[in-house]
Amino acid sequence: MWTNKQRNVIKPQQGTPESATSKLDTTELVTSQLVTTKLVTSEPVTTELVTSELVTKEAFKTKVITSERFPQTKSLKSRTSKRRDTKPATKSTATTATDSTTAPVYGIETTDSPTEVAGNDNDIVCKLPKLDPWDRSISHLLSEEGVDPGCTTRYPLSPFDVINNKLVPKPGVSLYKFHSVSVTTIERPANDDWQVNHDDVISPFVDAIKSDFFRVNYVKNNNQHLSHLYARVVPKKHMKDKFAATKRSHKNSKNIRDLSVLILGFDSTSFANFLRKMKHSLDFLVKGDLHTHFLKGYTVIGDATTPNMCALLTGKDETEVPEARRSYFGAQPTDSWPWLAKEFKSKGYATLFAEDDPTMGMFNLRLLGLQNPDGIYDHYMRPFWLELESAGERDEPGVCSKSTSMANFTLDYLTSFFEAYSDMPKFGFAFMGFSTHARPNYLSFIDYDLLHFLKFFKKNNFHKNTMLVILGDHGSRNDDVRNTMQGKLEERLPWLSITLPKWVEEKYPEIRAALRHNQNLISTPFDMHATLRHVLTYPDPPNGEKGQSLFTKLPRNRTCQDACKYAIQN
């Protein structure tokens, strides 16, 4: 039985080397890389929709299978991989592409070095490269891993479900098969971002489980001891009552200021790698009657995750917010930062933050994290991941935890968030980094999980009142692709797509026109921050922004330096 005790996860040590704690390194900003290579004129790519011809090469074509969750594909084999914060060994692909000069992508032929293509829009000042995702210079580094890592075959599936916050056996499961069943909740202690508290639920089949996170331990009659972790949102009644008192509508509202916002982030995911690895999800974004815009000019403003997510979630450069770096004089937790979620919370939104790697967290690795997340996020998933990590319940690549895909823990938590607050506006930020931080080819393992989530999202009509943002923090920085010129350019051009409800584009045609206009222009996390705040102020522009809302047309004479000037000045 579990008792009320605390379990620790190893914190980053004080006095972390300056290489890990230094602020923004602007020596490799996109402006210095994207404007120095001679551009070649070619037919511009249509960016309103991404067609199947745009995202597939003959050797990588995959039939979209909708009749089952996973098609029959190569499962994840046992590998001797290093920790995700180290450079993995070079791995040659077993999937040899056909002659790379055939079936050209973006209407160009590939060469031994990456080929940049400028559109016919000669008045665009900041010329961005349109790179062939399967360029010959990196083709030997691309491997087709499949979409099913085989998690479900590694450990017995849980025999229990949770209905109305109570544990229930799944259909066909008899409690007589078990010697004992117990439930232990997982909670965050006050003022500590690195520990978890545990408490026993006395009667799990009778009493409601009031924590978002818990562990089920059970012993079968054959003396087999098993356990499973659960994460799902338990709605907070006072929040729902407070929103109901305002008599605001959400489900049927046609006011953009009532729009829910969901941000799905994937670590080390460039625009090109999303095209390579997320074929099924991309196909659904394009053909699933979703109004999605693809921002090909989205670029980073600094190295690694923290500066880019700081700009996205606070609108500030990392040098402007109060000092929070470990071992630095006067450093304090990040609670006082101008978090975007605070503003949405003040407008009556339910808020959520979910990041799956507690040790390498964007605001925890070299920063002090949050002391009191309740003032910003109503639901904070970090305790769940601390528990999973401290118990050693994931594989080394970070793809599976027992019988569950790591990405599915996050996506299922988001599913429960939208179900729990179906009648309220929501702001959710989720970031998945375990699988892809040092292994960009593993992004394909998330493809069907994301597709399943998108289908759920549409089936339950959440797409009708939600702005869905899918993005990367940057491209790959830790594998051998990064050592090529193609990889260096990809690293500066992360994925960004924005999906809006149909009624938004019909009621506000200027928003649709602006997003279409902006798809090939340089944009940054500062612009994305302004866009998210614009949801709360539209049609009035948000005040005090470094960037410009993507709901308005960016100037075509915007220079690369202008887009990133706030990062460059620091």
Tally Cβ neighbours within 10 Å of residue 58: 12
Paired residues of 498 in beta bridges: 293, 469
Distance between CA 437 and CA 434 in Å, rounded?
Answer: 6
Distance between CA 347 and CA 537 in Å, rounded?
Answer: 11
Paired residues of 430 in beta bridges: 264, 354
Determine the pLDDT at residue 100: 31
* Dihedral angle over CA of 227, 231, 237, 242, nearest 10: 170
**Which of 224, 230, 201, 229 has its CA nearest to residue 2?**
201
* Chain segment 329-348, per-residue pLDDT in tens: 999 999 999 999 999 999 99
For the chain, what is the mean pLDDT?
81
**Which of 64, 230, 88 has its CA nearest to residue 147?**
64
Please compute Rg for the chain using Cα positions.
23
Q: Which amino acid is at 308?
A: N
Distance between CA 467 and CA 486 in Å, rounded?
Answer: 32
Distant-in-sequence, close-in-space partners of 14: CB < 8 Å, separation ≥ 6? 326, 327
How much of the chain exceeds pLDDT 70, in percent? 78
Is the pLDDT at 496 greater than 80? The verdict is: yes
Distance between CA 404 and CA 157 in Å, rounded?
Answer: 8
**Which of 432, 520, 428 has its CA nearest to residue 467?**
428
CA atoms within 13 A on the CB side of 231: 28
**Which of 421, 428, 464, 460 has its CA nearest to residue 242?**
421
The separation between the first and the last C-alpha atoms of the chain, rounded to the nearest angstrom, is 53
DSSP code string of 491-555: HTSB-EEEEE-HHHHHH-HHHHHHHHHHTTS-B-HHHHHHHHHHHHHTTSPPSS-SS--TTSPPP
Helix ranges, 359-508 (H): 382-390, 406-420, 447-459, 485-491, 502-507
Determine the pLDDT at residue 242: 87
Flag the least confident range among 90-104, 125-139, 180-194, 298-312: 90-104
**Residue 431 φ then ψ, to 5°:** -135, 125
* Chain segment 239-248, per-residue pLDDT in tens: 998 888 887 7
How much of the chain exceeds pLDDT 90, in percent? 65
Q: Are 292 and 286 in contact (CB under 8 A)?
A: yes
Name the helix (H) or strand (E) containing 283: helix 279-287
Determine the pLDDT at residue 109: 30
Q: Which amino acid is at 304?
A: A
Q: What pairing do the DSSP bridges indicate for beta strands 426-432 and 350-355?
A: parallel
* Chain segment 376-396, per-residue pLDDT in tens: 999 999 999 999 999 999 998
Angle at 223 between CA 221 and CA 226, to 5 degrees: 100
Q: How confident is the model at residue 103 (pLDDT cuts 50, 70, 90)?
A: very low
Is the pLDDT at 112 greater than 90? The verdict is: no
Is the pLDDT at 485 greater than 60? The verdict is: yes
Distance between CA 467 and CA 428 in Å, rounded?
Answer: 11
**Which of 256, 255, 265, 258 has its CA nearest to residue 497?**
265
Q: What pairing do the DSSP bridges indicate for beta strands 213-220 and 40-41?
A: unpaired
Tally Cβ neighbours within 10 Å of residue 192: 13
Helix-helix angle 447-459:406-420, to 10 degrees: 10
Helix ranges, 50-190 (H): 52-55
Q: Are 511 and 527 in contact (CB under 8 A)?
A: no
106-131: average pLDDT: 58
* pTM for the whole structure: 0.82
Distant-in-sequence, close-in-space partners of 104: CB < 8 Å, separation ≥ 6? 110, 132
**Which of 406, 320, 392 has its CA nearest to residue 355?**
406
Residue with tokens 């509202």: 253
* Chain segment 522-551, per-residue pLDDT in tens: 999 999 999 999 999 999 999 999 999 999
Is the pLDDT at 470 greater than 90? The verdict is: yes
Determine the pLDDT at residue 12: 59
Cα–chain-centroid distance for residue 166? 30
Is the pLDDT at 34 greater than 50? The verdict is: no
Name the helix (H) or strand (E) containing 285: helix 279-287
Q: Are 525 and 311 in contact (CB under 8 A)?
A: yes
Distance between CA 165 and CA 212 in Å, rounded?
Answer: 9
